Structure formats: C-alpha cells, structure tokens
C-alpha cells in the first residue's frame, strides 16, 4: 500500500486523470466548433493523430519504466474509445437534425429528441442500401415495408422474386408503396407512374399464382422520401429508390433509426394509407 501511494505513483495517477480530462474536453470542443478547429489548426483527424503519438510515447516509456506506463496506455485507450464514440454519435445526431426538412417526416421532426436516444446510423451508397434490403427480406419475421420511387425494375429480377417468395413462405406481410411527389407535376412523371404500375401489377400477378403463407400488398404512395422497415426492429428513411437497379453515382443516403415508437408509427402510417 505504501509503495502504491508513493509520490511517483501519485504523479502517474494525476497524469492519467489529467490526460483523460483534457482529451475529453479538447475532443468535444473541437467536434462542436468549426471555428475553434480552424483556429487551433487541428481538426478531429489531427486530434486522433496526436493521440497516436502519445500512445507511441507511452509505450516508449514502458520499455524503461515498466507496468505503470502500460496501465496508463490501456486507460488512455479506453478513454479515447469512449470519446471517439461520443463524438461520432454527436455528429450523427447533428447530421440527422440538419436533414429533417428534406425527409419531410412530421413524427421525426416533432419527436427527434426521443428518437435519437436510441441507436441511429447513416447508410450511404447503392451497395450499403441494397445489402440492407436483402437482409430485411431474408430475416424479417412479421413485416417488411418498402417505400420506393418510380424506378421499380428490381421487382422483375429473378433474384428479387426468389428472395420475396421465401419471405412470403415464412408468413411475412410485405407492403410495397411506389410513387414520387413533386410540387409541380410533369408529363414525364405521369408516364413513369404508369410504367411502374404495370411492372408492379405483373408482380402481383406472379404472387397470386402462388399459394404462400404471407401477403403481398402493392399500392400508390407518392412521397418526397423513401423507406425500408423491418418488423419493429428498424426503419431506414432517405432518398434511395429501393427497387431501382440503376447504379446511381450520387451520394444516396438514408438514416437507420431503431426507436421502436418511430418504427411503429412510420409503418402504420404507410400501411394504413393503402
């Protein structure tokens, strides 16, 4: 006990606590303020590099002074991980908040503070979205809601129909809404709507020829944003056309939301609109 409370060990403990405190404080301040980041000349990535340099320094000390430096390295690593997690979550929440107007979702707008208390994530790009769609169809046990735009070519592919058939055989209820809403309708949109309807009517014909436990519903649902909902587990809302096969190079993105009340409200809103 006396050795543990020696002055050298006390200095180590003070250094650990001070480093952790400064790390949390500086990291959060840099994360919150662009002006401060610009003034300091060190952004978040630069801040992480400094932490790595500190790690290298600490392990260098360990080679000469033993276990205490290893202890501080482990402690600093844990603090850095938690701080990084906090900063990442903060950026996600701020990003979702900034995109509320484009998502045109009243429930999300009015209940954002509650929704972001549970895990959220950002889904970016065609591959990431398509992977989520495949996973939802493959693993759903009760309900799958797909709210897409007017590009619905994917429903004609054998891969999609095979996965859908297996899903329906499990007794899952699958709802597909299609359409796009603009402030000013144009003739091309009317044509695209008719083409989408024809393709989805064929999908319904394909479904009706089979005796499946689940149920497939297709209906017109014009909206600004799209959605994928799996059971009561999650909803992904954004601008990705889930049933399109186009390799769009635009930064298509969606927000993964796991708040159960939001998921249920979004599902019921879409399903009850048919």
Overall average pLDDT of the 90-95 stretch: 82
pLDDT at residue 225 in the model: 86
Query: Which is it for the CA torsion 156, 159, 162, 168, positive or negative?
Result: negative
Overall average pLDDT of the 101-112 stretch: 88
| pLDDT tens-digit series, residues 202-236 | 999 999 999 899 999 999 998 878 999 999 999 99
Which pTM was predicted? 0.73
Letter string b/e over residues 238-274, b meaning 16 or more CB atoms within 10 A of that residue's CB = bbbbbbbeeeeeeebbbbbbebeebbebbbeebbeee
Q: State the pLDDT confidence band at 21, using cuts at 50, 70 and 90.
A: low
CB 220 within 8 A of CB 179: yes
Overall average pLDDT of the 19-24 stretch: 64
pLDDT at residue 2 in the model: 46
Q: Choose between 102 and 138: higher pLDDT.
A: 138
| pLDDT tens-digit series, residues 136-151 | 999 999 999 999 989 9
Could you give the residue range(s) of every CATH 3.30.870.10 domain in the chain? 101-271
What are the distances in angstroms from CA 99 to CA 85, 96, 132, 135, 241?
21, 5, 21, 26, 18
pLDDT at residue 136 in the model: 97
Asked if pLDDT for residue 83 goes beyond 70, the answer is no
Residue 122: which of 255, 20, 229 has the closest Cα? 255
- Reply yes or no on domain 101-271 having CATH 3.40.50.1440: no
Q: Choose between 174 and 19: higher pLDDT.
A: 174
| pLDDT tens-digit series, residues 32-80 | 554 544 445 445 555 655 665 665 566 556 555 655 556 666 666 666 6
């Amino acid at each position: 006990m006396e050795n543990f409370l020696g002055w050298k060990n006390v200095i180590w403990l003070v250094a650990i606590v001070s480093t952790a405190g400064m790390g949390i404080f500086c990291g959060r301040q840099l994360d919150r303020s662009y002006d401060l980041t610009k003034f300091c000349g060190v952004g978040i990535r630069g801040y992480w590099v400094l932490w790595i340099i500190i790690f290298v320094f600490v392990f260098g000390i360990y080679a000469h002074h033993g276990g205490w430096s290893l202890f501080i390295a482990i402690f600093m690593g844990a603090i850095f991980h938690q701080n990084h997690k906090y900063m990442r979550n903060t950026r996600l929440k701020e990003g979702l908040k900034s995109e509320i107007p484009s998502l045109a979702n009243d429930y999300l707008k009015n209940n954002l503070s509650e929704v972001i208390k549970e895990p959220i994530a950002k889904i970016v790009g065609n591959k990431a979205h398509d992977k989520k769609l495949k996973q939802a169809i493959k693993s759903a046990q009760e309900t799958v809601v797909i709210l897409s735009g007017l590009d619905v070519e994917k429903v004609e592919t054998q891969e999609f129909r095979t996965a859908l058939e297996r899903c329906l055989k499990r007794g899952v209820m699958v709802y597909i809404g299609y359409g796009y809403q603009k402030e000013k309708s144009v003739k091309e949109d009317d044509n695209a709507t008719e083409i989408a309807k024809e393709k989805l009517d064929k999908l319904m014909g394909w479904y009706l020829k089979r005796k499946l436990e689940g149920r497939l519903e297709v209906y017109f649902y014009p909206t600004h944003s799209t959605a994928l909902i799996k059971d009561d587990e999650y909803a992904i809302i954004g601008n990705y056309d889930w049933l399109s096969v186009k390799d769009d190079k635009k930064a298509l993105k969606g927000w993964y939301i796991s708040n159960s009340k939001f998921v249920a409200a979004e599902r019921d809103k879409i399903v009850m609109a048919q």
